[in-house]
Amino acid sequence: MIAVDLVGMGKLDKPDMGYAYDDHLRYVEGFIDTLDSKNITLVIHDWGSVIGLDYASRNQDNGQSRRHLLTRDRGNYRGTAQEY
């Protein structure tokens, strides 16, 4: 398992680089391509869900499944994983 956090999110460093949607999508795609990962399972959350679903829709030949982690109100509620 490999966990990827979006650049500049949370407690990560905030380097002087692009933080727009297309930038993050390009970073995630590049990371997956560099590892040559196949048949991946995406566990996506919050803003990363949009990026993960976009990646999955354009890379359907990768055979991945998707799990969406649902959360609400500062973590007071934990939803369940749901396969799309």
pLDDT in tens, 12-35: 788 888 888 899 999 999 999 999
pLDDT of residue 43: 84
- Residue 81: is it exposed, middle or buried by C-beta count within 10 angstroms (0-12/13-18/19+)? exposed
User: How far, in Å, are 9, 20, 29, 30, 43 from residue 26 at the CA level?
Assistant: 16, 10, 5, 6, 18
Specify the pLDDT at position 68.
Answer: 64
- Write down the pTM of the prediction: 0.69
Whole-angstrom distance, CA of residue 61 vs CA of residue 38: 9
